[in-house]
Structure 1
Amino acid sequence: MTAMSLGTTEHLVPSRAMALAVVGGLACALAIGNALPVTMDTVSGALAPLCANAAESSPLDKVEPIGSYALPNVPGKRVTIVRVFYGPGGFSRPHRHAGSVTAYITKGEIRSQLGGGPVETFGVGQSFFEPPGSTHLVSANASATEPAELIAVFVADEGAQLTTLLE
């Protein structure tokens, strides 16, 4: 066997494995997809007030639901995970969340101010915590030229409106 044919044979084996992995992944996605729309519609509805403020800052600002799960060991509570994208200069209006929120910065820098506390800036890999009932006065992209992103994990009562905008 020549080096050329050996290389070709080795290349086919990973391709078959990759094809099987893709088919398996699609099958799992289809199975999950049948149950997911009801959950994601619920999550999207609960997040609507947070999404509504995008028109007031940047058209690139958006909230993307990732998942929502009942906590079997804490009856009546649910964990909900979302990705928040802020375009350059993007922000959210002052708001309050039901339950607790932990935010983890995945891109850029986020400015945040809770209640009467100081305005803080968090970068990639940093996180901050919002206790139940706290007011989030500043939630904004720290950059006017680059996008920013965070993952927010809510733990709140089942059926709670996760975000309430403040007047």
Structure 2
Amino acid sequence: MTAMSSSAVQRPAPSHSTAFAVVAGLAFALAISKALPMTMDTVSGALAPLCANAADGSPLDKVEPIGSYALPNVPGKRVTIVRVSYGPGGFSRPHRHAGSVTATITKGEIRSQLGGGPVETFGVGQSFFEPPGSTHLVSANASATEPAELIAVFVADEGAQLTTFLE
């Protein structure tokens, strides 16, 4: 058995838009974490309403907390960052979020519809914005065969329930 050097392994290069989105997200998270760090136990507690029953479309659907930080220059507000992964055909039930949400697609394509607006499809590197109180009627993987993923950044009141599912 011969050892293979790590330089012999070939990996596809990430696209520029994906690399930019990842670097920008990490820089943003690092900058805010310097302002006021928070433990992941606290983040998980704040995200519990977001993660509970987040999607019914695929067993591969999940919401993972990345971080949550008080905004020192905006008393009473918090920024929370999560990764939403949808398996093939995955989706979230209609819902509403507290505060504002900006989402950036990091893998695959996501279909989204707010209120009475059109259903739109967003690809890697694209983003969409949800104003406070918007009804998110469609949030789904546009593919029945490939996974999709987005990073969502919430800005909401401290202690707010980030996601409320509609009946």
TM-score tier after normalising by the smaller chain length? 0.7 to 0.9
Quote the Cα distance in structure 1 between the aligned partners of 2:104 and 2:55. Answer: 24
Quote the Cα distance in structure 2 between the aligned partners of 1:123 and 1:56. Answer: 22
**Residue of structure 2 in register with 1:64 after alignment:** 64
Structure 1 residue 84 corresponds to structure 2 residue 107: no
Q: Deviations over 1:2-39 (max 9, x none)?
A: xxxxxxxxxxxxxxxxxxxxxxxxxxxxxx9xxx7x74
Per-residue deviation, 1:87: 0.3
Per-residue deviation, 1:54: 5.1
SS at match of 2:139: strand
Larger Rg: 1
Per-residue deviation, 1:57: 1.5
Quote the Cα distance in structure 1 between the aligned partners of 2:148 and 2:55. Answer: 17
Per-residue deviation, 1:70: 0.4
Write the letter of the residue equivalent to 1:142: A
SS at match of 1:112: strand
Counterpart contact for 1:50–1:165, Cα < 8 Å: no
Q: How does 1:1-167 map to 2 (within 5 A)?
A: 39-53=39-53, 56-167=56-167
Write the letter of the residue equivalent to 2:100: S
Counterpart contact for 1:46–1:163, Cα < 8 Å: no
Bigger helix fraction: 1
> Identity over aligned residues, as a percent?
94
Per-residue deviation, 1:64: 0.6
Displaced runs of 4 or more, over 4 A: none
Instruction: Give aligned pairs, total.
Output: 133
TM-score normalised by L of structure 2: 0.74
Q: Deviations over 1:90-134 (max 9, x none)?
A: 000000000000000000000000000000000000000000000
Give the alignment's Cα RMSD to 1 decimal. 1.9
Quote the Cα distance in structure 1 between the aligned partners of 2:125 and 2:91. Answer: 20
SS at match of 1:106: strand
Counterpart contact for 2:54–2:93, Cα < 8 Å: no
Counterpart contact for 1:97–1:132, Cα < 8 Å: yes
Counterpart contact for 1:49–1:165, Cα < 8 Å: no
